[in-house]
Amino acid sequence: MFNPSMSRRTLVAGLVGLSAAGVLAGCSNDDSSSSAGSSSGSASGATFKIGGIGPTTGAAAIYGNAVKNGAQIAVDEINAEGGDIQFELNFQDDENDAERSVNAYNNLKDWGMQILMGTVTTTPCVAVSSETNADNMFQITPSGSSTDVIGGQPDADGNISTPRKENVFQMCFTDPNQGAASAQYISEQALGTKIAIIYNNSDTYSTGIYNSFKAEAEADGLEIVSETTFTDDSATDFSVQLNDAKNAGADLVFLPIYYTPISLILTQANQMGYAPKWFGVDGMDGLLTVEGFDTSLAEGCMLLTPFVATAEDEATQDFVAKFEEVASETPNQFAADAYDCIYALKSALEQAGVTPDTDYSDICDALVEVFTSGDFSFTGLTTAGEAATWSDTGEISKQPMGMVIQDGVYMPLDA
């Protein structure tokens, strides 16, 4: 069996010089959710210190607050059970900014964090995962989906630019998995004959999904008739992209982007009388909450997601009720992924047999061994009732569900 202790320390020595600490160091984040305490690397009592990082303010706050609340619900449930595993969660705001995210990570280390649950968004997560890798701090992200987060994956040209970060694991699907699965689903369900793609070529998340979608679509015989892009700075007027798709006769538009530009695309398409089918990925989750958006335009939008709040199983409905009580809104998949992260950590810590007085680096070694052991699995809100497993790449293996927005709620596509 692979020895994580030896390989991690050998790898860390080579990666320290490549870490982004010197580039991303800056002023500390004054918006921390709790004050920092002493830095010990281990907890003094019977409680594991879990750090969390994500945007709780700014344009991406819907994701960060969902993760924060979902994780806290799990922590409260576990602590209420009174078992051997107890958690304290300290969640820091990074405003979806890489520099602030690294600062938040350093604040959490000063507090005595032993495990990181985060970060929430991709670009900050890539930066922070380089830091945790250098420190040998165990990290599981609910939603940082880029392969650059975990490293060791080939790019579109087959090159591996980022070595594997052996301490980092994902609860979410990777971007390539989302893209390939979406193309397969569209093909298998015969949802469209002529496909257009609108993606953000300034965003790692969007381009990663686009590349894998295009490759799989071509392999599955889907006809891509339009490929257009935008950037963060131009994400207001989509007339060029929509006219290109319309003139090409696209009957389905694939949107590997976040919900805010999607709301603008749907609004502008409606204004020009263009009504194709729309298919998105996990970034579409949140579309129904956009302020000022006519949610009737989202009717019929499809996406693949690991979680839907309208599922009728007891675990989902219990979580939804608790989340709505705390947040006064329905949880999205990011909240559920965060909830699952905490319970997966609990299960892995129990299997590893480590205690809160253990040094964070030793905890990391123990958790890596459990997660990559081959006999560790986890069933949660986002695993479609089946046991999910992790490979030594850090990727999770679980099944997505096809969903469609009907009457303002997400419903199974095959219902």
Spans of all domains in the chain: 4-173+316-397, 176-305
Query: Residue 380 pLDDT > 80, yes or no?
Result: yes
Residue 42 is predicted with a pLDDT of 60
Q: What is the mean pLDDT of residues 392-410?
A: 90
Q: What percent of the chain has pLDDT over 90?
A: 75
Does the structure show a pLDDT above 90 at 159?
Answer: no
Burial class (CB in 10 A: 0-12, 13-18, 19+), 10: exposed
Q: How many CB atoms lie within 10 A of CB 382?
A: 30
**Which range is most confident: 199-213, 253-267, 400-414?**
253-267
| Pairing label, strands 389-390, 396-397 | antiparallel
So what's the pLDDT on residue 9? 34
Residue 13 structure tokens: 């020595």
Q: Of 83-97, 148-162, 285-299, 343-357, where does mean pLDDT reach its minimum?
A: 148-162
Alpha carbons within 13 angstroms on the beta-carbon side of residue 136 total 22
The first and second tokens of residue 375, run together, are 């006999």
Predicted local distance difference test score (pLDDT) of residue 40: 44
Give residue 4's pLDDT. Answer: 34
- Does 33 score more than 80 pLDDT? no
- The residue among 8 and 229 whose pLDDT is bigger is 229
DSSP string across 342-378: HHHHHHHHHHHT--TTS-HHHHHHHHHHHHTSSS--B
Topology match between the domains 4-173+316-397 and 176-305: yes
CA separation for the pair 293, 287 (Å, rounded):
8
Q: Please identify which residue in the block is written with the tokens 């302020």.
A: 291
> What pTM was estimated for this model as a whole?
0.81
pLDDT at 328: 95
What pLDDT does 312 receive?
87
What is the structure's pLDDT at 399? 82
Q: Reading across the β-sheet that carries 223-230, which strands appear in turn?
A: 223-230, 194-200, 252-255, 277-280, 302-305, 401-406, 409-412
Q: Which of 18-32, 269-283, 389-403 reaches the highest mean pLDDT?
A: 269-283
236 cis-preceded (ω within 30 degrees of 0): no
Average pLDDT of the chain is 88
Is residue 28 scored above 60 in pLDDT?
no
Q: CA 20, CA 13: separation in Å to the nearest integer?
A: 15
pLDDT at site 45: 56
For position 155, what pLDDT does the model report? Answer: 66
Length of the chain: 415
Tell whether the model's pLDDT for residue 101 goes beyond 60.
yes
pLDDT at 170 exceeding the cut of 50 = yes
What percent of the chain stands above pLDDT 70? Answer: 88
Tell me which of 90-99, 122-131, 142-151, 158-167 is least confident. 158-167
Residue pair 334/143 in contact (Cβ under 8 Å)? The answer is: yes
Least confident of 3-17, 273-287, 298-312: 3-17
Beta bridge partners of 50: 89, 115
pLDDT > 90? residue 394:
yes
> What's the whole-number mean pLDDT along residues 335-352?
98
Residue 297 CA: distances (Å) to CA of 174, 239, 241, 270: 28, 17, 18, 8
CA distance linking residue 7 with residue 13, whole number of Å = 10
Q: What is the pLDDT averaged over residues 40-52?
A: 77
* CATH homologous superfamily for the domain 4-173+316-397: Response regulator (3.40.50.2300)
Q: Are 182 and 253 in contact (CB under 8 A)?
A: no
Q: Residue 156: its pLDDT value, please? A: 60
Class in CATH terms, 176-305: alpha beta
Q: For residue 241, give every residue at least 6 positions away whose Cβ sits within 8 Å of its Cβ, in sequence order, or none.
A: 198, 228, 229, 230, 265
376: left (phi over 0), alpha (psi -120 to 50) or beta: beta
pLDDT tier, 18 (very low <50, low <70, confident <90, very high otherwise):
very low
Characterize the bridge pairing of strands 252-255 and 194-200. parallel
